Amino acid sequence: MPQFVLLEHDHPQLHWDFMLEAGATLRTWRLDQIPDQDGMIPAEQLADHRVVYLDHEGPVSGNRGTVRRIDRGEFRMLEDQASRLVVQLDGQRLRGEVQLEQTADHETGWSFHWRRFDGLDS
């Protein structure tokens, strides 16, 4: 099963990187807040990242801050369209069904929200 990871990243300001394994890369979205409850979270699609970030914690190259892993687990793709993804997460902390949907604003503007939230364990 493909893997996902949620990283806390402190550069340039605090945000969370949500990453989905896609072959040799990680599809990545920057979230303005931790996805710990139901509701829509603004997201920005970033360039694909290297799969090394599935396991990486600590400094990021190029003086781009530090990352700390919040969760990691497996996911199942339920829907994969150019402007909308639905994934079933089975992490150590995050579990449920998530929808990522492109907004009308611009290419990188997305929203992240739980279609079914099974909880965030401590």
pLDDT score for 36: 80
Confidence of residue 38 (pLDDT cuts 50, 70, 90): confident
Q: Could you tell me the residue range of the domain that residue 38 belongs to?
A: 3-120
Q: What is the mean pLDDT of residues 78-95?
A: 95
Q: What is the mean pLDDT of residues 72-86?
A: 96
Domain count for the chain: 1
pLDDT score for 27: 97
Taking only the tens place, the pLDDT of each residue in 110-119 is 999 998 888 6
Confidence of residue 52 (pLDDT cuts 50, 70, 90): very high
Q: What percent of the chain has pLDDT over 90?
A: 80
Q: Is the pLDDT assigned to residue 39 strictly greater than 90?
A: no
Q: Is the pLDDT assigned to residue 121 strictly greater than 60?
A: no
For the question of whether the overall pTM of this predicted structure is more than 0.85, the answer is: yes
Calculate the alpha carbon distances from 89 to 5, 58, 102 in Å.
10, 24, 19
